[in-house]
Structure 1
């Protein structure tokens, strides 16, 4: 009888995964990867739309089964040509005769980005305090109108006139937004409703101003347009006259971004404002005046929107302004703030990106006949996916964050509890 060896069970410790694997998983869960993949999806969607709007693609698709190569060639030409045109219009014009002219595309992108960044910073500050400021349009309009009313008739010399005009725009935007903050603090009225209504009031008020002789309407004109910006109030070119879109206004915007970063991340006031944004009830219990923080947040947000107005009246638009001077920047600023995750330098990056998309869209339309609306769709898709990181991680099979795992576990527990009650 053979001797049997006893079977023993030994508990062996499972070795921990390499640290490199954990670092990779953390990177894949991060916001940077999620944002990059959001742009990948957005440009893929944009490519599909470019193909659908191409006459060559549609015509070659009619005989696809006879000559499929024609369709694929048309697809490549439409999509690659469209994005090549965007690059030429936004970053570097590869068809320019000399490099000095080729980089004008980049300076145009920066010029478009300046008011977007300024207004986006204002929206971001309000977001950090738990307020949804969608009134940047009205704040830009009133900033421009206030600057025109108090500074244009002065006839000061440079640089005093330039500084006074910029301060006037900042003060006008701050006052207009500060009224919203004060109403919310005193009455509890919702800032979304207030800012929507204030946008309408600003549009019609500025329309009346530029249409009324003796207020802001240009002398001797019956058109709704203001006097041109005095030469002494215009921002000087940052490089030279070959790059008119890039002026010293962009430097002031960067200074504002540094200030907002210091204010929200380093100062005691920023700490109190962030505390209100996280939990106003806990902030109030700790002795913070929530109402005061609401007023401060809207004053700062409006002042930054007024800085965006100064970019318009002192830089890009010098021949006078109308009630459309905001050029859609007021609402685009919400997108920029969301994409920048309400952080100052994130807003700068998002504003530069959207400025490049805007500059590139014009070249796409003029060179390739692609509608500008395609770029707007790309922007919307980017924001959609950036605002929904779990969706991006699901599409690309990325590891879930701890918060998502906890939420999923709570959902399963709630489902089991509901089924138990039903039985």
Structure 2
């Protein structure tokens, strides 16, 4: 009879050697790398450790200050302007409902950018993916309009998810198979989606009773009726943000995404199929953006696809993701802020005479400032690597 103690374990069969720690074993002391600067302490250390929270806050405050200067240049008191904007967005029923309605697609589009970022990809195509989801929802809702309202709504959302996933998968497949940079492909796909959908709403999907290019409206029974000031889509978006955070932190798929994002070579060496994971990450992201489009179709009056339904929601998703520092849960407060700015922009114009484009400017400044640490890291990565190599060579 063979001695079972000599039988190699499953890990040893695959070339992985594991050791069991003993009671006397203690972890070795952490020795700082030769030539590396000591970790910062005090206030500077706190800023470095909590930069994921501090950087977005500083960016928002700085953007509001710069915006205040420009508002003052227009002859309006900045304090009064901001008070008018946020009072309407948070302290009135119509404004609060508008803020929550904006939050839904902003959270979903933010997640559509966050997931690829965790894999090392930059999805600029949430705008086109949202539009694809919205037109797919409009087409399927009209096709099954005789079904019960709940069934129509579910089918429309599923169609939106599939359409967005398919549209994003094109960029993922190009990246995985031909190495086409996802920024270029997703930007081009945005333009292709806009042109294709413009043809559809002026041709096969145009509602003959509409005076302007638009799809058939969603059946009355399938439309999302808000619960007071809370739209139906908001709980869906919040649950998905939590699920995405759980997936990235607690599942094998999330671990694979994180591994690829941190080091593709190590991920490939570990047996992770990079091409499949890239396509899957883009498909999940596109599905979330497509869901945002289908929810907009079912939730926002006039309940039909028409020019401008997407607005800048897909592009705002980039701001949301960067403000959230690629944290799925961080998309919620980021979407709340951006949603309040978007919802209150019209009221700001009516009460102060300031053009609503001031909100676009605030978001652009915020995006620029919150991106500075990332840009600096990319710009100085090579310089830092050279400095570390020089220090090691002199110290050896």
TM-score normalised to structure 1 length: 0.76
Larger displacement relative to structure 2 (312-321 or 111-120):
312-321
Post-superposition Cα deviations, 1:278-325, rounded to whole Å, max 9, x if no partner, equal: 111111111100001101001100000011102210111334222432
Larger displacement relative to structure 2 (131-140 or 178-187):
178-187
Post-superposition Cα deviations, 1:347-387, rounded to whole Å, max 9, x if no partner, equal: 12111110011112222111011122222222222222222
- CA distance, structure 2, for counterparts of residue 126 and residue 330 of structure 1: 14
Post-superposition Cα deviations, 1:240-294, rounded to whole Å, max 9, x if no partner, equal: xxx3xx3111111111111211111111011101111111111111110000110
Contact 1:119–1:307 (CA under 8 A) maintained in structure 2: no
Contact 2:150–2:222 (CA under 8 A) maintained in structure 1: yes
Shift of residue 414, structure 1, vs aligned partner? 6.7
Matched, 1:227 2:216: yes
Contact 1:165–1:233 (CA under 8 A) maintained in structure 2: no
- CA distance, structure 2, for counterparts of residue 129 and residue 343 of structure 1: 13
- CA distance, structure 1, for counterparts of residue 58 and residue 132 of structure 2: 38
Q: Can you give the 5+ residue segments of structure 1 that lack an aligned partner in the other structure?
A: 1-20, 55-76, 93-101, 393-400, 418-423
Q: 1:171 aligns with which of 155, 162, 172?
A: 162
Corresponding position of 1:134: 124
Contact 1:225–1:320 (CA under 8 A) maintained in structure 2: yes
Shift of residue 125, structure 1, vs aligned partner? 0.5
Post-superposition Cα deviations, 1:387-416, rounded to whole Å, max 9, x if no partner, equal: 224999xxxxxxxx9xx9xx779759979x
Corresponding position of 1:195: 186
Matches within 5 A, 1:4-403: 24-29=43-48, 30-31=50-51, 32-54=53-75, 78-92=77-91, 102-154=92-144, 155-212=146-203, 215-221=204-210, 223-239=212-228, 243=229, 246-389=230-373
Which protein shows a greater Rg? 1
- CA distance, structure 2, for counterparts of residue 203 and residue 390 of structure 1: 30
Larger displacement relative to structure 2 (150-159 or 114-123):
150-159
- CA distance, structure 1, for counterparts of residue 267 and residue 246 of structure 2: 21
Contact 1:203–1:323 (CA under 8 A) maintained in structure 2: no
Shift of residue 225, structure 1, vs aligned partner? 0.8
- CA distance, structure 2, for counterparts of residue 41 and residue 146 of structure 1: 40
Shift of residue 184, structure 1, vs aligned partner? 1.8
- CA distance, structure 2, for counterparts of residue 85 and residue 411 of structure 1: 51
Give the 3-state SS of the residue equivalent to 2:183 in structure 1: helix
Distance 1:177-1:81 versus aligned 2 partners, 3 A rule? same
Larger displacement relative to structure 2 (229-238 or 288-297):
229-238
Q: Can you give the 5+ residue segments of structure 2 that lack an aligned partner in the other structure?
A: 1-39
Distance 1:261-1:409 versus aligned 2 partners, 3 A rule? closer
- CA distance, structure 2, for counterparts of residue 412 and residue 293 of structure 1: 33
Distance 1:230-1:318 versus aligned 2 partners, 3 A rule? farther
Larger displacement relative to structure 2 (276-285 or 316-325):
316-325
- CA distance, structure 2, for counterparts of residue 48 and residue 371 of structure 1: 15
Contact 2:138–2:305 (CA under 8 A) maintained in structure 1: no
Contact 1:312–1:325 (CA under 8 A) maintained in structure 2: yes
Distance 1:189-1:391 versus aligned 2 partners, 3 A rule? closer
Contact 1:152–1:165 (CA under 8 A) maintained in structure 2: no
Contact 1:385–1:391 (CA under 8 A) maintained in structure 2: no
- CA distance, structure 1, for counterparts of residue 181 and residue 368 of structure 2: 25
Larger displacement relative to structure 2 (162-171 or 293-302):
162-171
Contact 1:89–1:362 (CA under 8 A) maintained in structure 2: no
Contact 1:234–1:318 (CA under 8 A) maintained in structure 2: no
Aligned pair count reads 348
Contact 1:170–1:302 (CA under 8 A) maintained in structure 2: yes
Corresponding position of 2:9: none
